[in-house]
Chains A and B, each alone.
Chain A
């Protein structure tokens, strides 16, 4: 099972060059049943990464390109009057899928953004009084441009909190970029990707990830970290309990990918920046952004043992 997952990761790495760590984190995020937010400048490969993941995991997926005129109904679906039957018929929106790719999510207005909220947290949507369940599994991989870019609406903290991890890819190194320039078109490569894992295996892997052991000592470490965010002088507020659950879940997934059935402090440390930075806010800083320095200070100052 782990071999299949490793194969998936390798395949994605063929397409997204030089981002092995981010790819592995993204895989861990999905194994922990979490939604993934990829944030970076346009053209850094966000969309490529999300599409590649969707392809290799073999899930059926839908893609929504978020724009400023996107309406909630465009995401969830609408009821249309059928003249022949004389009744309203529900036309499911693109959200009814296993993997939803939400491109440039912060370009939509808050109203449309929050249409995703319930779906992401509870795996169901309520439209016109009727609650409809979403398929299992259900992932959202969203991409967004940094807040400084024009034509963006900031995601509120409540929405950011729904994402297990936020990754940013950054510039590739020179070597990877050389390969990129020499290689074929990315779009082409994406289409050539084959599903490498069965749905049942993925579900089983998710189940196993949730069963990875977190010992007393490890949980104490997580609690120390969480406590440190809450008392940190540079942070306006600390992690919520949902945040600490997310941290532990992500650490379990990382441990699983490392081939262990128990979590060690290093697992927590690896996933920590991706899991907590979008949930924290520095004093006088923008919401949803804790600087790398603050996160690093958590890693160095909180006793690991």
Chain B
């Protein structure tokens, strides 16, 4: 064997490492399956088989032409599947593609190292799509597999027990946990240098800045989580929980939308009555607006109360976001409106819905007083045969006319839109409010959980001196919607969770499933508040509580010292100097003694193994004798004859005895 050949053998990737690398690749790719094109799975299978065949020396490594062709075609395929090569989705798809293709290029240990670190990076990128408790727990698997691959690289090519390597990797992982906790608690939360692009899928659910009646009905079919709210005091009744997201004053004949002009003014309101205090963790919405009960305000610097009483953040909510808010439900809102503002809230399209306009005039004559007119209108919804449903028929050009006088079937948005249209036609300033109503109270966790199907729309009208007053026409049609929630109101409509048989929400009538679901929600809530919510402000508050003064030098020093302490403790625990068991030979002999002790033969302190053997040999069953004496002879040779210790042989002899 010449030097070059020896070097080549040393550079080869050991079998164990390859095994764990392939396993790790699968585990790394699994969380990405929903976000990458499916043909990537085929690509992985092909590359893995190829690489294994290379290892078995059945096929050669691909040459440069094949590699270049593969690279270009995969890149092009990603472009075709994603329509672009920039953006989060495409970038992750490219990353996974590279991760897979690198397998074919992996000749030396150095290449394997690159692949392993790429794997660690891909584990992190999966958090862009899911940052829940399950995702975090799952990522332990690929990390341990990658660690095992890393360990395998350091092992001899003849090592043949992948599970031992996995065990070692798991031990390493477990030993790193204290350090992980320390870094999590103390490591400074730096603001990102660049803003993270948002994954496409997440933006699809939620309210948007304009509302066509059908939109909310679509939302009503989604059980995705919108936000969770934890009240500092008692949780108010369901029917009090009108979570405002948006105020929609502008109507174009089909849809209601927000007005940019109004947003710039200062809100005018006077706090009255008791205040409610609560904290909200909202799921990413890709929109800047937040949720609050009327009239909400927040101390947080990046949150502002707009003139239409919605809370808005300076940047869109792209990751789960936690904020603290206070609300005065009885506050007097904007008692004065200028002529121009009043005009804004009376805006209607020039034409369309003539029947409704006529009816509004009739009502105006019937009820000269505004409040009486509103009451009359609500009474109309109550007494006439209106029906609350998700499945409203498609409406034509004069949608309000059709809804009010012919179809009479609709979701909350239909009622709110029709009512505001009528009020405006009758000369009363009014607007549509979109948000969520109610939510599910988790008794164990003391929080309210609001899902997308809790989306709701209601009406506000304005009176001089009294300000804005909220009314809900849906309440007149389907009071159970307000009091018990949308699921109860629509329980006849079997398609609420259509196709989602696995959703635990389908099985709320089964008590233990519901119980389990509630506990799980609670766990998730804790995860979000305690772990994901542990951001800069929380960290600083916490550190202040412990260290008095938040001084990054002290923290850094403490961080380094604690890390050193943890490592020192780990080292002590691993090497156990007090046990003096550093001699591996000694450990094996101890095990040998334990084995024989279980069979009733105990070595005396002053007895050498040979005299021990001579004492017990007559009592030892004959078939066990050869194995025992062989072990003793091997031990003597290794311990006393100064042969190079060969623990493997000794262990094998011990295993013989154990049989």
Contact = CB atoms under 8 A, between A and B. Distances in A.
Interface in A251-270: 260-266, 269
B589 A264 contact: no
Chain A contact surface mostly:
mixed
A215 B641 contact: yes
B639 interface: yes
Nearest to B639: A217
Given A269-B611, A305-B586, A305-B589, A263 B605 contact: no
Nearest to B606: A300
Contact of B608 (A215, A301, A304): A304
Nearest to B608: A265
A263 B610 CA distance: 12
Nearest to B609: A305
A218 to B, nearest CB: 5
B640 A215 contact: yes
Contacts of A215: 639-642
B344 interface: no
Given A269-B611, A305-B589, A262 B642 contact: yes
Given A264-B610, A266-B610, A213 B605 contact: no
B426 to A, nearest CB: 103
A217 B608 contact: no
Nearest to A214: B640
Interface string B610-653: 11000000000000000000000000110111100000000000
B641 A261 contact: yes
B640 A299 contact: no
A257 to B, nearest CB: 15
A302 interface: yes
Given A264-B610, A264-B636, A266-B610, A302 B605 contact: yes
Contact of A303 (B606, B609, B642): B606
A261 B606 CA distance: 23
Contact of A266 (B585, B589, B604, B608): B608
Interface string A77-110: 0000000000000000000000000000000000
Contact of A213 (B586, B606, B611, B640): B640
B605 A303 contact: yes
Contacts of B605: 300-304
Nearest to A213: B642
Given A264-B636, A266-B611, A269-B611, A301 B606 contact: yes
A261 B643 CA distance: 12
A300 B641 contact: no
Contacts of B608: 264-266, 269, 304-305
Nearest to B641: A262
Contacts of B369: none
B607 interface: yes
Contacts of B606: 269, 298-304
A301 B636 CA distance: 21
A116 to B, nearest CB: 35
Contacts of B639: 215, 217
Contact of B640 (A218, A298, A302, A303): A218
A207 to B, nearest CB: 19
A304 to B, nearest CB: 4
Interface of A: 213, 215, 217-218, 260-266, 269, 298-305
28 contacts: A215-B639, A215-B640, A215-B642, A217-B640, A218-B640, A262-B636, A262-B637, A262-B640, A262-B642, A263-B640, A264-B608, A264-B636, A265-B608, A265-B610, A266-B608, A266-B611, A269-B611, A300-B604, A300-B606, A302-B605, A303-B605, A303-B606, A304-B605, A304-B606, A304-B611, A305-B586, A305-B608, A305-B609
